[in-house]
Copies of this chain bind each other. A is one copy, B any other.
């Protein structure tokens, strides 16, 4: 077992100084052809590669970016990671991941762990708990220490940094307008409580669409669910809630749901109650998930272009990292959402 070879070892073997080796390997004109040959041949033979850690310490630059997300077993987030990784790799960066698991404490710990020199900058989507607590001190501290942050999707005004978001408001509005155009007169909304920023914006889009098209807002058509309940493991509860919605509003002919699970469950419950999708009820969800495409009927959705978000976020971060003149201006890039029509709408 041959350990990784260092400059020092090469220098010793060839009986020259460390700096000669270093220069020879970087093809410096200071070094004679002869020595260069010798050194380079030896280095190649022993497969010399500079030690990243030493370089990081010397250059005070790790060429690594940290991404903190609430959950990884989730299509949206894994697509974002793919985008981040793609751009990061192209530009010579590694990606280190931290999962907050929707917990404020884990988010803080993860960030502190990485902020101590391990990475050059963060890409982050806030945990639900952080959104509820509205405690953003760890972000501001990180930024104050000169470490740039790019936030995506779940962002918040209180933090001054670059952001990448999807146009939740417009996306929702378009979706609901589509339903209106398809002659839905009683469009229900299945959303989350307002502290989840994206849920709030999508709700606003729904309201705006109704208003624009002169449809009355009926409170009983709006179902606000507690996003802290894990309905994925507690499907029955979700179904009950939605069933309730249908029962108290027999005229519902359209549904806009702010995520995939709500939308699919709504379709299922509708089917069970004897409604036909899309004939009796049309449904649109808001998601990048796989289930929509494979469900029967397949679900029309507002796509968030998750991978693109990741690419943009990585691009913004690396631009900032590589721009010396500390740009103290922050931008928010808005990714256009896209309505993908499938079988659940006419």
Residues of A whose CB lies within 8 Å of any CB of B are 1-4, 47, 49-54, 56-57, 62, 64, 72-75, 78-79, 81-82, 85, 89, 94-99, 110, 112-118, 141, 144-146, 264, 290-291, 294-296
Is the beta-carbon distance between B1 and A118 smaller than 8 angstroms? no
Q: Copy number in this complex?
A: 2
Is the beta-carbon distance between A3 and B145 smaller than 8 angstroms? yes
Is the beta-carbon distance between B52 and A118 smaller than 8 angstroms? yes
Is the beta-carbon distance between A294 and B264 smaller than 8 angstroms? yes
Please name the 6 residue pairs, one residue from A and one from B, whose CB atoms are nearest each other, closest first: A51-B117, A53-B117, A52-B117, A96-B96, A49-B116, A52-B118
The CA of A146 and the CA of B79, in the complex, are separated in Å by 34
Q: Given A73-B82, A78-B72, A146-B3, is A94 in contact with B118 using a C-beta cutoff of 8 Å?
A: yes
Write 17 A-B pairs (CB below 8 A) sorted by A numbering.
A1-B144, A2-B144, A2-B145, A4-B145, A51-B116, A53-B53, A53-B56, A64-B96, A73-B79, A73-B82, A74-B78, A78-B78, A85-B97, A94-B113, A94-B118, A97-B97, A294-B294
Residues on B with beta carbons closer than 8 Å to the beta carbon of A64: 96, 118
Q: Which one of B82, B110, B144 lies within 8 Å of A72 (CB-CB)?
A: B82
Is the beta-carbon distance between A146 and B54 smaller than 8 angstroms? no
Residues on B with beta carbons closer than 8 Å to the beta carbon of A79: 73
Residues on B with beta carbons closer than 8 Å to the beta carbon of A74: 78
Is the beta-carbon distance between B146 and A1 smaller than 8 angstroms? yes
Q: Which one of B52, B62, B75, B78 lies within 8 Å of A116 (CB-CB)?
A: B52
Is the beta-carbon distance between B99 and A96 smaller than 8 angstroms? no
The CA of A113 and the CA of B57, in the complex, are separated in Å by 17
Is the beta-carbon distance between B94 and A114 smaller than 8 angstroms? yes
